[in-house]
Structure 1
């Protein structure tokens, strides 16, 4: 048998600690644990998951504690599973116990089922968030996300003769953001 690569994810580093996941994955045989912090509703920006997938070799395992640590979407969970087996490796989830290597239809059904559960959970999370925002707006508490771009800085750089591309690079923002700020 090859090596076991662990994967752990937390949604936010505010009030959450990834160390318990890492410790459990190591107890289950992970020789290294890759960790991401961020939303599980998308595979975008999950650099450590990508690194783990690239390092898999035939006979290896990618190990996660729960399906929702990998993805909260049926398609994404199955995509991860298929990418693992394309590498000749297996995807193992500790709880519920699932080992997906492409040879057992039941494990694919289980992945699909837990992906669907993750999708439903994601839907309810977003619905609760929308209700909370609406309630906060009615109370006058919710002001939206604070502005992260200072239009004054953009105008000052423009007045110094910089073009939109150079301003965007200097401030590390998108060019479209520069155009929006200048148009406002």
Structure 2
């Protein structure tokens, strides 16, 4: 049997700790654990997952504790699994126990099923978030993201004779933002 590489992910480092995932993966035989902090809804920005996949060799395996640590989407989960088997390696998930090497249709069905469950879970998370934001707005607590552009500074630079491109460069913002402020 080849080497076992572990993969752990938490959504945010604000109040979440990845150490328990790492410890369990090591207990299950991972010689090294790659860790990402970020949303499971997208494969974008998952540098450690990419690094782990690149290091896989024929006969080795990538181990994750749960399917949702890899992806919360059927397509993404199957994409990851297929990339792993293209390298001659195996995807192993600890809970539920799934071993995917591309030869077992039941393992692929299980991955598909858990990918769908992740998609539904992602939908419910977003729905709860939207309800929470709406409730906060109704209480007057939620005002949206704080403004990052100072309209007064844009007008001041315009009065000094600078054009939209020059203002955008001076303030490190997009030209469209300058036009929006000036049109308001």
Aligned to 2:115: 115
Q: Secondary structure at the match of 1:99?
A: strand
Q: TM-score, length-normalised on structure 1? A: 0.87
Q: Secondary structure at the match of 2:43?
A: coil
How large is the Cα RMSD of the aligned pairs? 2.4
Aligned to 2:51: 51
Among 171, 174, 179, the residue aligned to 2:175: 179
C-alpha spacing 1:155/1:19, structure 2 compared with 1 (3 Å): farther
Larger Rg computed on CA atoms: 2
Aligned to 2:15: 15
Misfit runs of 4+, over 2 Å: 147-164
Q: TM-score, length-normalised on structure 2? A: 0.87
Do residues 40 (structure 1) and 45 (structure 2) align?
no
Alignment of 1:161-176 (within 5 A): 163=165, 167=169, 171=172
Count of equivalent residues: 178
Aligned to 2:124: 124
Moved more, 138-147 or 121-130: 138-147
Alignment of 1:24-173 (within 5 A): 24-149=24-149, 163=165, 167=169, 171=172
